[in-house]
Amino acid sequence: MPESTKVNENKAKIVVVGSFIADITSFVPRFPREGETVIGSMLKTGPGGKGSNSATAINRAGGSAVMITKTGRDTLSEICLNHYKEEGMDSRYVYTSDTVATGAAIIEVNENTGENRIIVMMGANLDLLPEEVRAAESEFESCRAVLVQMETNLDAVKEAITLAKKHNKLVVCNPAPARQVPDGLFRGVDYFTPNETEAEYFSGIPVKTTEDAFTAGRELLKLGVKNVIITLGKDGAALVNSKNEIIIPTTDLLPVDTTGAGDAFNGGLTVALSEGMDIITAIRFANCVASISVTRKGVSPSMPTRREADTLFDEYYGKNS
């Protein structure tokens, strides 16, 4: 195990501004065609949302997540609060909307390939206000990094990036789901982490090959971000910055459910960067967190522990680096 992957004695505090979504997941032998009914094998409900999933990954991978999100006053919100209690996560900044329901997702998972299809209702996430983010400024001041994504009110995301820069904190932005954003929103982001679809959305370049990924990465740097990391599923991740254009391979674990893989990657990446790992090592560590997560059904509950991620890092990259 390289020295750089060991857990620091003091866990890195990471502020996550993003979504909580209650997941309703069905497992099917194949996806139905339009108008067709397919009999599924299992239905699961549980905690989800890109922000919350990443915060869970952070907590389990050796960091300490401070989650800023919003739910409704309904039964689904109990999934959120119960999960944070069980995980030992800080829920002081879980705000409640009196008028809008908790966000929810309908997920289909192909149990033969692990691939998924998702419909998201963002609900109360769209009601998270900039002033509610600002109320947590002391957390931004004392954290090591801030992680944001697009599954919430973009004014709240902008406020989070502004506070992070005010206090000279590292910013990781997962631009998911891909959606229209205000001009300049990403300017100053340290690590920009789209998947192939999101990279195409923001760059205008379809990502089908390694060279496509590098070309898209160069275009995405024009948004004012410092590093672009395009996640490529089983093909690993493409890093593009002013010095590098490189593919970092991922592990060879076989997926069962790929839902939340990007959230796991971003959580692992932010922990690694917060601990001072160099970018290549950090991406490798993030690959391990994501790889383990997709070998299990579910999303937040599938996130691995630090010991599991370190063990896979040692086993895979120790012999493949």
Provide the annotated active-site residues. Answer: 263
Q: Cβ atoms within 10 A of the Cβ of 309, count?
A: 29
DSSP 161-198: HHHHHHTT-EEEEE--S-----TTTTTT-SEE--BHHH
C-alpha count within 13 angstroms, C-beta hemisphere, residue 61? 40
Q: How far apart are CA 219 and CA 205, in angstroms?
A: 9
Nearest to 14 by CA among 290, 193, 306, 267: 267
Amino acid at 25: T
Can you tell me the distance from the alpha carbon of 39 to that of 149, in angstroms, rounded to the nearest whole number?
Answer: 34
Q: Give the chain's end-to-end CA distance (angstroms, integer).
A: 12
Give the start-end residues of each E strand in the chain: 13-17, 21-28, 42-48, 64-72, 94-97, 103-110, 116-121, 145-149, 170-174, 191-192, 227-231, 237-240, 245-248
190 alpha carbon, distance to own chain's centre: 15
213, 244, 221, 229: which is closest to 286 by C-alpha?
229
Farthest-apart Cα atoms in the chain, separation: 55
Residue 171 near residue 188 (C-beta atoms within 8 A): yes
CA of residue 217 relative to chain centroid, distance:
19
Cα four-point dihedral sign 272, 160, 198, 126: positive
3-state secondary structure of 128: coil
